[in-house]
Amino acid sequence: GQNIDQPTEMTATEGAIVQINCTYQTSGFNGLFWYQQHAGEAPTFLSYNVLDGLEEKGRFSSFLSRSKGYSYLLLKELQMKDSASYLCAVYGSGNTGKLIFGQGTTLQVKP
Amino acid sequence: SAVISQKPSRDICQRGTSLTIQCQVDSQVTMMFWYRQQPGQSLTLIATANQGSEATYESGFVIDKFPISRPNLTFSTLTVSNMSPEDSSIYLCSSLHTVSGREQFFGPGTRLTVL
């Protein structure tokens, strides 16, 4: 079957660093996405990993280990506006473009 | 990044009626998708909208309930037919872009409430 796990909720302090983990078990793997979604808005693309290692984009970094079925999203220098849901999504087998989403992690940044 | 627009942004409908949602992408894309996001939940893929052929539906979704059109490479529609309160959800259009790497973008969503 297909399974993507993320923590349901996390809380962190403004200015700190937070790591949101995602583990997956899917039939095939063609890449992993991270999205940010503020309440009442559409998901916003953050990152795409297909090879092992760390991808850095400003305050956000995403890591992938295909052998472990594991990814994390690292947010540095947290700001209040980073309070949102963070969705991990995987491309399964084939080149269908279909994304399988985890349930999302709701991050609350406190002052 | 791509710009995706959806119409309507929200609607309140009566049970038994149908609603058609339009999705427009600002560039030609090979692959477009329709997702549903129920309150407090993550996204679930309804179907892949194929240009020039019938959509490919995921398990649990059927063409009679969710007919989809894709007349060209920038436009698609999703119809929610014979609606019931269980269809109340946010419906999102998405497009896959592979020009530089792989990026998948989402439209702003259509918030549907069925009474």
Inspect the interface and report whether the beta carbons of B42 and A103 lie closer than 8 Å.
Answer: yes
> Which run of H or E residues covers position A86?
strand A84-91
Q: Supply the pLDDT for residue A35.
A: 95
Q: Do A42 and B48 touch (CB under 8 A)?
A: no
Per-residue pLDDT tens for B29-88? 888 999 999 988 889 999 999 888 889 999 999 999 999 999 999 999 999 999 999 999
**B92: contact with A, CB 8 A cutoff:** yes
Residues of chain B in contact with residue A44, where contact means CB-CB under 8 angstroms, are 106
Task: Check residue B100 and give its pLDDT.
Answer: 64
DSSP B11-78: EEE-TT--EEEEEEESS--SEEEEEEE-TT--EEEEEEE-TTSPPEEPTT--TTTS-EEEEETTEEEE
Which of B1, B104, B107 lies at the smallest CB-CB distance from A99?
B104
Percentage above 90 pLDDT, chain A:
77
Q: Indicate the residue of A48, A96, A103 with minimum beta-carbon distance to B101.
A: A48
Neighbours of B101 (CB within 10 A): 9
Q: Tens digits of per-residue pLDDT, A16-63?
A: 999 999 999 988 888 999 999 998 888 999 999 999 999 998 999 999
B72 vs B30: CA distance, rounded Å: 10
**Strand order across the beta sheet in which B19-25 lies:** B4-7, B19-25, B75-80, B68-72
Contact at CB, A102 and B92, closer than 8 angstroms: no
Q: Check CB contact of B1 with chain A, cutoff 8 Å.
A: yes
Q: Which residues of B touch A87 (CB under 8 A)?
A: 42-43
B59/A contact by beta carbon, under 8 A = no
